[in-house]
Amino acid sequence: MGKRVATKRQKAQAAFDASNFFDDGARETQLYAIPGGGRKWDPAETDGKPKRVEPAHGERQQRYQKTVKPRSENQAQLMKALDEKSLVFAIGPAGTGKTYLAICKAVEALQRGDVARIILSRPAVEAGEQIGFLPGAMEDKLAPYLRPLYDALSDRLSPQQLKHMMADGTIEIAPIGFMRGRTLNNAFVVIDEAQNCTYTQIKMLLTRLGWHSTMVVTGDPAQSDLLPTLSGLADAADRLEQLDDAEVVRLQGQDVVRHPLVAEMLDVL
């Protein structure tokens, strides 16, 4: 019975597997106090026997902050570009870690104090379906479209941290339609699924970049939900590749970190 329950739990948590990006040999241990904790065994020994002590601030629970590492040369190039450039285009097929690596670098920059906020934006374009009217506030309406970004954020931040940062605006959801006229200073900006943006939209988004900010544009021109002539991602990347403080990283099928069959399917579809 216990084995079946554990198997169901593993299947329920298998929707997003970020372990492909983790370096198991490099982890930082963080301790968080849990109010009302009970007794615990102290690892220190007295006269050859463990000493039982009462914790000063309640029972503590360990949480491991996993270190992300590249799995290919192109991913290493992307991570280096995110550290050094103000504008980065991450272009490649699904499963190459474009969004996840961008979110990881955004959280790292925020925790180091390099930026004051993270701004996430993604076009609200249905992938062939009509989902109809969505109730709730603006964040509630955009939540289905931003689920992949939330998954990556949840892997780098605790639920309490993520909820608090979303509430106080440290992590901001910025719909593309409301970005015009803004200047994004001291921010790490992630524009995801940019293949569903027109050339005019991408031009508008790129010109929002302010002082001490980094902007990452991710997408796969081969999987646009717009008409082929409307997507502006590939054209914008080709034009901006020549700039000194901008870099275009083109990931390939060999960079896919999902099921090996994904890379094989990309070669035949």
Model pLDDT for residues 70-108, shown as the tens digit of each residue: 888 999 999 999 999 999 999 999 889 999 999 999 999
d(CA 187, CA 213): 5
Which DSSP state fits 151?
H
Name the range with the highest mean pLDDT among 34-43, 45-54, 139-148, 185-194.
185-194
The token duo for 14 is 């298998």
pTM score, two decimals? 0.71
d(CA 22, CA 18): 7
Strands (E), 54-141: 60-68, 87-91, 117-121
Nearest alpha-carbon partner for 240 in 77, 80, 88, 79: 88
Torsions phi, psi of 206, nearest 5? -65, -35
Q: Where are the domains of the chain?
A: 14-66, 70-268
Decide which of 150 and 60 is more confident. 150
Check whether 41 has a pLDDT greater than 60.
no
Architecture of domain 70-268: 3-Layer(aba) Sandwich (3.40)
